[in-house]
Structure formats: structure tokens, C-alpha cells
Amino acid sequence: GRHPDRMLVGMRVCSRRVSSLRACATTASVSSKVAAPTQQPRKRKQHGPLQKQIPVTPNALAQFIKYRRDLFLNMPRPVELDADAKAMGVEVTPAYVARLAAFQCDVLASEHVGVQPDETLDVIFRHRVLLLQSRKGYRTTSDAMLLTCRAAELWNEVHGDDASPNIVVDVCAGSGVVGIGLGLRYAKSDVLALELQSQFAERCHRNAILNGLAKRMEVVNGNASEVDLSHHLGSVDLLVCNPPYMQVDDYSTRDPQSEERALARKESAATIDDFLRLTKSLLHPTRGIALFVYPQKRRDRMNDALDRVGGFHSIRWTDVHRGGISYHKPSATVIVAVSVGDILAKAAPDVCTDRLMHPVGCEDVTKYTPWIEDFFSSIGLHVSP
């Protein structure tokens, strides 16, 4: 199964030698209301700078900021920090990464984003992006990472590496990871994030501030089938969507345990047809492309919706295989790209393509194939927060 926390990119700290983060987690585990237990708790895998199961304390956050400054900014760095950085795949020397990290630390220290006790602060995309998420509610999965990387890869194939979308629209934005990743990749692009749930929209806005996109990223809280985006009709170059994939009366899997998760997974407010109709109305007729991520086992449902809505000149499918030691397992995720013009037909002639998430035979789930790693490396290249 694709457990959200296991699949999130970069949330696991890849090196067990990151003593500063362990110290941070230890400090954070001491609650002001409950005394620390005398018996040592069972060791758990760590997800990001502050463990998911423990509250965020000011002291823990301060230690994380200090560690991040040491890792990226302070010279000379202790030898063990360079070893940790290498193990985590972090580039510590380029100035653009240092600028981004410095900005993020300043924002965290200023408390403008205010990490709440019911949230986690997660490190994703090879230490480039910091993400606030709900501790117990719906959390982003690897699908968001795959959608982000494939959107950038396809955009570059169609328009070239140096071109930027005029605007990136992130539908069903959640905490904002896809829109933020693409906004950091394309520094000349504005980002519009559309999110139904108010708590997600508020957190998405704070994540935009945290990652230096406050001036370029607008967050709209509303229903995709009702929100007024008339001023963007026919003008969007790049649209991405990670939609709910279960019908309201679909009981093929266990019901989500919270309303937040239910709204994220079930089409209770808008259907896939609604999202496709919105996409068709927003895309630029000659330049625009849109990408959706969807479960492979529901591919036929997406195909049927595309036939019902109609109006897309080109449709391209990408089957994403997990790779690693599970290379022969069927694809779990499909990414479908559409355009109302013929730009996809010209630039991407193959109707169906395949991608691997992890190198074949690799047991390390933190290592990814080049199309993903190339995207990580591109984040922040053109950004000066």
C-alpha cells in the first residue's frame, strides 16, 4: 500500500548521523503538559526535522533553524555536517540553495508562518522546500512529487528549458507542494492555487510565504465547480491537478477516518468531469498543457471522463512504475497530459510513455531516477528570495 508518510519525498532523514535533528526531536518530545516517560520509547523512523508523533516546541524549532543554518550557511562547517549533506543528496555549495535556505530560516525565526502544535514541518525535494502539513489529517503523497516532476519535464520538452509558463494553476492544491515546487522552478511564473478546504488553503498560503513565493502565489479557497476564474479563461500555460479519485458511493476501499481526508479523496464537492471542464476553459489554445495524476486502477474512469467532456486535441499517458526492487510490479500511478491545441502532438508524439520512480534493483527508497533528480536540482536555480 502507498502510505502517505512513507511515500513523501525527502521527509525521511536519509542519514542516521544527523545528530542535530535527533536532538531536535528529543527536545520536541518533551511536552509542557505531560512529563517525559522514564522508559525509552521504541525507535521510530523519523519524518522530517520534527517527528510526526510529537508536538512542535519553540526550542525544537530553534534547534532546527540552527541546524539548517549550519548546514547551508555557516563556514567552516563541521565535518559531520558535510557527511550528512552528502548522504542526504544535499548540495551545500551553490549560492542559490544557500539564499533559499537563509530566507526560509529567517521566516521561521520571525514566526510569520507560525508552526502550530497540530502541524509538522517537513523537508522535501532534497532539502529545497519546507512544508507545513497537518499532523493527523490528510498528508501529501508521492503522487504530488511525481506530478510536479512530470509537469516540469513535459513543459521543458514542449517549450524548452529556458521558457517559463505565464501562470501555473494548481487545482486541488492541498498544502501547496506542487504549485510551490513549480513556482520555485520557474521564477518568472505566477502561481494560482485552488483549494476547497479552508484549513488547507490557509496552510498553503503560509507555505508560500515560507518558501519565498508570497508575492507570486495566490491562494483561492473555493469549489472548482463554482469558483469564478473568468479573468484566466483561455490564458493558462500550465495547469496541474491531483484530484479526488473516489466517487461518493465508492466503497471499494476503507472510508477515510476524517472529514479532511474524505474531502481530499472523494468527489463530494466536484467530479473529475468538473475538473476537466475547468481545465478546458482555462488552457491557452496554443501553448497550454495540463497534467492530472490518477491511480492506475482507475485509469478507465479518467478515460471515460475525457470522452464525456471532449474538446482536448491531444492526450498523453505516462505510466509511473515504482522500480527499485519491485520493478516487475504493475504501474500504480498514471499521469495524463492534455492540451486543447496540437502542441502536445507535435512535441510529444508518443501517446503512452513509461517512467521509473526508483532505479531498478535499488533498495534505497530515497534514491530516484534522473527525471526526478533533475527536477530537484533545478529548484532555486532562478530564485533570489
Q: What is the pLDDT of residue 118?
A: 82
- Greater model confidence, 30 or 52: 52
- Greater model confidence, 141 or 21: 141
Q: How sure is the predictor about 254, in pLDDT bands with cuts at 50, 70 and 90?
A: low
Mean of the pLDDT values across residues 363-368?
86
CA separation (Å) from 51 to 22, 46, 106, 163, 169? Answer: 9, 6, 22, 39, 31
Is pLDDT at 239 greater than 80 in this prediction? yes
Q: What is the pLDDT of residue 259?
A: 64
The answer to whether 28 and 55 have CB atoms below 8 angstroms apart is yes
Highest mean pLDDT among 7-11, 128-132, 169-173: 169-173
Q: What is the pLDDT of residue 5?
A: 37
Q: Residue 46: name the closest of 372, 380, 366 by CA.
A: 366
Q: Mean pLDDT for the chain?
A: 78
Torsion, Cα 207 210 212 213, to 10 degrees, reads 20
Mean of the pLDDT values across residues 108-118?
82
Confidence (pTM): 0.79
Is pLDDT at 291 greater than 60 in this prediction? yes
CA separation (Å) from 298 to 1, 112, 126, 146? Answer: 16, 41, 30, 17
Cα–Cα distance, 187 to 51 (Å, whole number) = 31
Region for residue 165 given its phi and psi (left: phi exceeds 0; alpha: psi -120 to 50; beta: otherwise)? beta
Cell of 54: 510529537
Handedness of CA 183, 205, 212, 216 (dihedral sign): positive
Cα–Cα distance, 207 to 259 (Å, whole number) = 22
Cα–Cα distance, 14 to 61 (Å, whole number) = 20
Q: What is the pLDDT of residue 126?
A: 84
